[in-house]
Structure 1
């Protein structure tokens, strides 16, 4: 029996092809969302590669160090600053007075504690200022140190519990880790991402600890 191959078949074939392309296009659009959070190391494998590129050196001297050598928090206009920006980014149900953050809810990624008063929340530098000083920032000018202290583009600034921030102090991961072990992978990735971007060194103990933490990613 002869099979029909007239215009209807051709049109149907063409329509099927168009629908297939349209579906593929929708999937591509739906999957290409932007993440508003700061860039991290990009996964354990990438962070491990970045860690391997860091200079290993003994911790430098604290001579000449002062937090004032890392000017922060920079103004973001209308009496607001980078601290307000981080509080708003990391919190929920934010309340403002002008553009100052005066209320909301925050959960500290370091220890899982929750807060509703911004005065109970600290803004932690993933790589502490004093650690950066000992890792090469002592050779920067104050403008560059200010860029580091106010860096919103890397995973450098986080709203966390005051107690965890103060327990951490200026210690590296070989000396202090977040109480929430489930956060260790992200913590190591973020630490490496910051040090890699700013070309800061790591101690041998710091590097070994980060490598172990990244194995869990």
Structure 2
């Protein structure tokens, strides 16, 4: 996933007059409009998180710092450490067309299904494991084998509502599979995409959400969907960009504009958008070490 970088764009100096520019055909092609296979405008530019520009921040040593920067308030500074972080709101602008998939997106073909991990000594698939992880109480199961979750207590962060029936919960991919596919995952092999679909090493990657909100979101980016629970919107945007950074996924100009607007409108804490460089590396190391997860467990 090597990317040619044209120049750097920093959030604080962005002039977001950029609007997604589309064309009816790529250079050198016929004048016919794009086919349904592209499933996306032909953006002439795209963005990625600028990992080359880092900074040191002081964080408390008693709190985990592998994902997001911790509380930086003065009372924590007596027991603290310097951590090198990447600012998820500093982006690289790539002045070249966003690549277009060669195949029409199909969930099962390109990302597979929920996988049952035999190493956890249960018959639960990824969906069930996320439901158990996120329930605020011990779950109950359907049937004596305890493969499928029936009830529990979940807080839908999108709607800000409590849900107690598992059938009313859907597991949302923070960056939806189709969005990931169009953002670069179409270039991956199947085993990488299947791992992405079942990835539990970064908790915000998979979200227990109410069925209504998950269907409302569908495959939309922040330009088309933000949770109705406004108290969760900053965290939602942060998690969105974090997933894109971990997996080297690209962001189109309209998506970036929406992220910028949301951060400004909801006065998001900019410190929460800082991710430790070590944590980012550990996520990618885990991905590399588990690329055969779906192949080994396919049955």
TM over 0.5: yes
Contact 2:88 2:245 in 1 (8 A): no
Higher relative contact order (CA 8 A, sep 6+): 1
How many residue pairs get aligned? The number is 182
Residue 47 of structure 1 deviates from its aligned partner by 2.3
Unaligned runs of 5+ in 1: 1-29
Q: Partner residue of 2:163? A: 115
More helix by share: 1
Unaligned runs of 5+ in 2: 1-59, 71-85, 269-299
Q: Partner residue of 1:83? A: 127
Q: Does 1:207 align with 2:251?
A: no
Residue 59 of structure 1 deviates from its aligned partner by 7.4
More strand by share: 2
Q: Partner residue of 1:5? A: none
2:62 to 26, 32, 41: 32
1:171 to 213, 220, 228: 220
d(CA) in 1 for partners of 2:99, 2:157: 27
2:139 partner SS: strand
2:160 partner SS: coil
1:143 to 191, 208, 225: 191
1:116 partner SS: strand
- The structure having more radius of gyration, on CA atoms, is 1
Q: Normalized against structure 2, the TM-score is what?
A: 0.55
Q: Normalized against structure 1, the TM-score is what?
A: 0.75
1:106 to 130, 154, 158: 154
1:104 partner SS: strand
d(CA) in 2 for partners of 1:40, 1:129: 22
Q: Does 1:47 align with 2:77?
A: no
Contact 1:59 1:203 in 2 (8 A): no
| Structure 1 residues 159 and 189, CA gap change in structure 2 (3 angstroms) | same
